[in-house]
Structure 1
Amino acid sequence: MLWRPHRLRKNWQFQTIITKGKKLVNPSFVVFFLANNLNNCQFGISTPKKLLKKAVERNRYKRQVREMIISYLKKNQDSCQTNGNHSHNNFVVIIRYPYLDLDFATNQKNLHKLLISASQQKNGYRLENA
Protein backbone atom coordinates (compact mmCIF):
# COMPACT_ATOMS: atom_id res chain seq x y z
CA MET A 1 0.00 0.00 0.00
CA LEU A 2 1.30 3.42 -0.93
CA TRP A 3 1.50 5.58 2.20
CA ARG A 4 -1.18 8.23 2.52
CA PRO A 5 1.16 11.28 2.30
CA HIS A 6 2.47 9.89 -1.02
CA ARG A 7 -0.94 9.54 -2.70
CA LEU A 8 -2.76 11.85 -5.08
CA ARG A 9 -6.48 11.36 -4.58
CA LYS A 10 -8.44 14.17 -6.21
CA ASN A 11 -9.27 14.59 -9.88
CA TRP A 12 -8.24 18.26 -9.83
CA GLN A 13 -4.77 17.23 -8.61
CA PHE A 14 -4.38 14.90 -11.60
CA GLN A 15 -5.64 17.57 -14.01
CA THR A 16 -3.30 20.24 -12.64
CA ILE A 17 -0.25 18.01 -12.97
CA ILE A 18 -1.18 16.91 -16.49
CA THR A 19 -1.92 20.43 -17.76
CA LYS A 20 0.85 22.40 -15.99
CA GLY A 21 3.53 19.75 -15.53
CA LYS A 22 6.32 18.33 -17.66
CA LYS A 23 6.03 15.01 -19.46
CA LEU A 24 8.41 12.07 -19.91
CA VAL A 25 7.53 9.14 -22.15
CA ASN A 26 8.80 5.64 -22.80
CA PRO A 27 7.01 2.72 -24.49
CA SER A 28 5.35 1.46 -21.29
CA PHE A 29 4.54 4.67 -19.41
CA VAL A 30 3.82 8.36 -19.61
CA VAL A 31 4.91 10.26 -16.50
CA PHE A 32 3.76 13.80 -15.80
CA PHE A 33 5.49 15.65 -12.98
CA LEU A 34 5.18 19.02 -11.31
CA ALA A 35 7.08 20.51 -8.36
CA ASN A 36 5.20 20.84 -5.08
CA ASN A 37 5.73 22.71 -1.82
CA LEU A 38 5.22 19.66 0.36
CA ASN A 39 7.80 17.67 2.31
CA ASN A 40 7.42 14.56 0.13
CA CYS A 41 6.62 13.30 -3.35
CA GLN A 42 3.10 12.31 -4.32
CA PHE A 43 2.01 9.76 -6.91
CA GLY A 44 -1.15 9.09 -8.88
CA ILE A 45 -1.74 6.15 -11.23
CA SER A 46 -4.05 6.13 -14.22
CA THR A 47 -5.07 3.20 -16.42
CA PRO A 48 -7.08 4.16 -19.52
CA LYS A 49 -10.45 2.51 -20.12
CA LYS A 50 -9.61 2.34 -23.83
CA LEU A 51 -6.65 0.12 -23.02
CA LEU A 52 -8.21 -2.02 -20.27
CA LYS A 53 -11.96 -2.44 -20.53
CA LYS A 54 -12.62 -4.26 -17.26
CA ALA A 55 -12.16 -2.62 -13.86
CA VAL A 56 -10.61 -5.83 -12.50
CA GLU A 57 -7.79 -5.55 -15.07
CA ARG A 58 -7.30 -1.83 -14.46
CA ASN A 59 -7.03 -2.41 -10.70
CA ARG A 60 -4.58 -5.28 -11.18
CA TYR A 61 -2.19 -3.14 -13.21
CA LYS A 62 -2.58 -0.25 -10.78
CA ARG A 63 -1.52 -2.58 -7.96
CA GLN A 64 1.53 -3.61 -9.97
CA VAL A 65 2.54 0.00 -10.64
CA ARG A 66 1.93 0.85 -6.98
CA GLU A 67 4.42 -1.86 -5.98
CA MET A 68 6.93 -0.48 -8.49
CA ILE A 69 6.56 2.97 -6.93
CA ILE A 70 7.02 1.56 -3.41
CA SER A 71 10.23 -0.19 -4.49
CA TYR A 72 11.40 3.08 -6.09
CA LEU A 73 10.74 4.95 -2.83
CA LYS A 74 12.65 2.33 -0.82
CA LYS A 75 15.67 2.46 -3.16
CA ASN A 76 15.70 6.26 -3.50
CA GLN A 77 14.69 7.38 -0.04
CA ASP A 78 16.65 10.62 -0.24
CA SER A 79 14.78 11.85 -3.33
CA CYS A 80 11.35 11.81 -1.67
CA GLN A 81 12.17 12.35 2.00
CA THR A 82 11.92 15.58 3.93
CA ASN A 83 14.99 17.60 3.10
CA GLY A 84 15.38 21.35 2.70
CA ASN A 85 17.64 21.02 -0.35
CA HIS A 86 15.33 18.89 -2.49
CA SER A 87 12.35 20.14 -4.41
CA HIS A 88 9.70 17.45 -4.35
CA ASN A 89 7.44 16.50 -7.23
CA ASN A 90 3.95 15.24 -7.79
CA PHE A 91 3.83 12.43 -10.35
CA VAL A 92 1.02 11.04 -12.50
CA VAL A 93 1.89 7.67 -14.06
CA ILE A 94 -0.19 6.56 -17.05
CA ILE A 95 0.09 3.02 -18.40
CA ARG A 96 0.50 2.54 -22.16
CA TYR A 97 -0.28 -0.48 -24.35
CA PRO A 98 3.26 -2.05 -24.50
CA TYR A 99 3.11 -2.40 -20.70
CA LEU A 100 0.79 -5.37 -21.16
CA ASP A 101 3.29 -7.27 -23.33
CA LEU A 102 6.35 -6.83 -21.10
CA ASP A 103 7.15 -8.61 -17.85
CA PHE A 104 7.08 -6.99 -14.41
CA ALA A 105 10.87 -6.60 -14.09
CA THR A 106 11.21 -4.81 -17.44
CA ASN A 107 8.31 -2.51 -16.66
CA GLN A 108 9.78 -1.78 -13.25
CA LYS A 109 13.13 -0.78 -14.79
CA ASN A 110 11.33 1.44 -17.31
CA LEU A 111 9.35 3.21 -14.60
CA HIS A 112 12.37 3.64 -12.31
CA LYS A 113 14.35 5.24 -15.16
CA LEU A 114 11.53 7.70 -15.84
CA LEU A 115 11.08 8.60 -12.17
CA ILE A 116 14.82 9.08 -11.66
CA SER A 117 15.14 11.33 -14.70
CA ALA A 118 12.04 13.28 -13.64
CA SER A 119 13.40 13.82 -10.13
CA GLN A 120 16.70 15.07 -11.60
CA GLN A 121 14.95 17.79 -13.56
CA LYS A 122 13.92 21.16 -12.27
CA ASN A 123 11.49 23.28 -14.29
CA GLY A 124 12.11 21.08 -17.31
CA TYR A 125 15.92 21.31 -17.15
CA ARG A 126 18.32 18.73 -15.80
CA LEU A 127 20.13 19.81 -12.64
CA GLU A 128 23.88 20.30 -13.10
CA ASN A 129 25.01 18.46 -9.96
CA ALA A 130 22.55 15.56 -10.21
Structure 2
Amino acid sequence: MKNSRIIKKNYEFEKIITKKNFLKNQSFVIYSIKNNENILKYGISVSKKNWKAWERNKIKRQVRSIIWEYIKTSENHSVDIIVMVRKEFEKKSFNENTNEFIKLVNKLRK
Protein backbone atom coordinates (compact mmCIF):
# COMPACT_ATOMS: atom_id res chain seq x y z
CA MET A 1 0.00 0.00 0.00
CA LYS A 2 1.39 3.35 -1.02
CA ASN A 3 1.73 5.99 1.65
CA SER A 4 0.27 9.19 0.21
CA ARG A 5 1.80 11.36 2.94
CA ILE A 6 5.42 10.94 1.84
CA ILE A 7 7.15 13.39 -0.49
CA LYS A 8 9.93 11.64 -2.42
CA LYS A 9 10.32 13.30 -5.79
CA ASN A 10 13.13 15.81 -6.29
CA TYR A 11 10.85 18.30 -8.08
CA GLU A 12 8.45 18.23 -5.10
CA PHE A 13 11.33 18.99 -2.72
CA GLU A 14 12.49 21.85 -4.97
CA LYS A 15 8.98 23.29 -5.24
CA ILE A 16 8.68 23.52 -1.45
CA ILE A 17 12.23 24.72 -0.76
CA THR A 18 12.21 27.45 -3.44
CA LYS A 19 9.25 29.14 -1.71
CA LYS A 20 11.68 29.93 1.14
CA ASN A 21 9.03 29.67 3.83
CA PHE A 22 10.97 28.02 6.65
CA LEU A 23 11.47 27.84 10.39
CA LYS A 24 14.52 26.51 12.15
CA ASN A 25 15.93 25.61 15.53
CA GLN A 26 18.96 23.68 16.73
CA SER A 27 17.81 20.28 15.45
CA PHE A 28 15.62 20.99 12.42
CA VAL A 29 14.95 23.26 9.48
CA ILE A 30 11.35 22.88 8.28
CA TYR A 31 10.28 24.25 4.89
CA SER A 32 6.56 24.43 4.26
CA ILE A 33 3.93 25.16 1.64
CA LYS A 34 0.12 24.97 1.80
CA ASN A 35 -1.69 22.18 -0.02
CA ASN A 36 -5.35 21.52 -0.84
CA GLU A 37 -5.55 17.96 0.45
CA ASN A 38 -6.25 18.56 4.17
CA ILE A 39 -3.39 16.23 5.18
CA LEU A 40 0.16 16.80 6.34
CA LYS A 41 2.60 15.54 3.70
CA TYR A 42 6.28 15.29 4.58
CA GLY A 43 9.73 14.67 3.21
CA ILE A 44 12.89 14.07 5.23
CA SER A 45 16.37 15.18 4.27
CA VAL A 46 19.52 14.09 6.12
CA SER A 47 22.92 15.29 4.92
CA LYS A 48 25.53 12.82 3.69
CA LYS A 49 28.21 15.22 4.88
CA ASN A 50 27.55 14.67 8.58
CA TRP A 51 26.60 11.01 8.89
CA LYS A 52 27.25 7.54 7.53
CA ALA A 53 24.47 5.62 5.78
CA TRP A 54 23.39 3.61 8.82
CA GLU A 55 23.27 6.81 10.93
CA ARG A 56 21.18 8.61 8.30
CA ASN A 57 18.73 5.69 8.18
CA LYS A 58 18.44 5.65 11.98
CA ILE A 59 17.81 9.40 12.04
CA LYS A 60 15.17 9.12 9.31
CA ARG A 61 13.39 6.37 11.27
CA GLN A 62 13.40 8.57 14.38
CA VAL A 63 12.10 11.61 12.49
CA ARG A 64 9.40 9.47 10.84
CA SER A 65 8.36 8.28 14.30
CA ILE A 66 8.22 11.86 15.58
CA ILE A 67 6.08 12.92 12.61
CA TRP A 68 3.67 9.99 12.97
CA GLU A 69 3.21 10.67 16.68
CA TYR A 70 2.50 14.31 15.86
CA ILE A 71 -0.02 13.35 13.16
CA LYS A 72 -1.85 11.01 15.56
CA THR A 73 -2.17 13.64 18.29
CA SER A 74 -3.12 16.69 16.21
CA GLU A 75 -5.85 17.60 13.79
CA ASN A 76 -5.14 17.47 10.08
CA HIS A 77 -3.12 20.18 8.42
CA SER A 78 -3.21 21.32 4.80
CA VAL A 79 0.54 21.64 4.49
CA ASP A 80 3.52 19.98 2.84
CA ILE A 81 6.75 20.06 4.85
CA ILE A 82 10.37 19.18 4.22
CA VAL A 83 12.25 18.33 7.43
CA MET A 84 16.00 18.87 7.21
CA VAL A 85 17.91 17.42 10.12
CA ARG A 86 20.82 19.40 11.57
CA LYS A 87 23.96 18.12 13.28
CA GLU A 88 22.64 19.00 16.77
CA PHE A 89 19.94 16.33 16.39
CA GLU A 90 22.28 13.54 17.47
CA LYS A 91 23.39 15.40 20.62
CA LYS A 92 19.86 15.56 22.03
CA SER A 93 17.54 12.91 23.36
CA PHE A 94 14.57 11.63 21.41
CA ASN A 95 12.14 13.48 23.71
CA GLU A 96 14.01 16.78 23.32
CA ASN A 97 13.97 16.40 19.54
CA THR A 98 10.26 15.56 19.62
CA ASN A 99 9.50 18.70 21.64
CA GLU A 100 11.56 20.85 19.28
CA PHE A 101 9.76 19.43 16.25
CA ILE A 102 6.32 20.01 17.78
CA LYS A 103 7.20 23.62 18.65
CA LEU A 104 8.29 24.32 15.08
CA VAL A 105 5.27 22.71 13.44
CA ASN A 106 2.92 24.54 15.80
CA LYS A 107 4.52 27.81 14.69
CA LEU A 108 3.68 26.88 11.10
CA ARG A 109 -0.02 26.82 11.98
CA LYS A 110 -0.05 30.47 13.03
Q: Do both share a fold (TM > 0.5)?
A: yes
The residue that corresponds to 1:103 in the other structure is 93
Match 2:73 to one of 69, 72, 75: 75
TM-score by structure 2 length?
A: 0.93
The residue that corresponds to 2:25 in the other structure is 26
Letter in 1 for 2:105: L
Conservation of the 8 A alpha-carbon contact between 1:21 and 1:34: no
The residue that corresponds to 1:42 in the other structure is 41
The residue that corresponds to 1:126 in the other structure is none
Conservation of the 8 A alpha-carbon contact between 1:8 and 1:14: yes
Conservation of the 8 A alpha-carbon contact between 1:46 and 1:94: yes
Query: Does 2:66 correspond to 1:89?
Result: no
Conservation of the 8 A alpha-carbon contact between 1:25 and 1:31: yes
TM-score by structure 1 length?
A: 0.79
- The separation in 2 between residues aligned to 1:70 and 1:27, in whole angstroms, is 21
The higher radius of gyration belongs to 1
The residue that corresponds to 2:57 in the other structure is 59
* Number of residue equivalences: 109
User: How far off is 1:26 after superposition?
Assistant: 0.3
Q: Deviations over 1:96-126 (max 9, x none)?
A: 01111000000000001111111x13xxxxx
Conservation of the 8 A alpha-carbon contact between 2:38 and 2:76: no
% identical aligned pairs: 36
- Structure 1 unpaired stretches of 5+: 81-87, 122-130
2:22 counterpart SS class: strand
Conservation of the 8 A alpha-carbon contact between 2:32 and 2:79: yes
Letter in 2 for 1:108: T
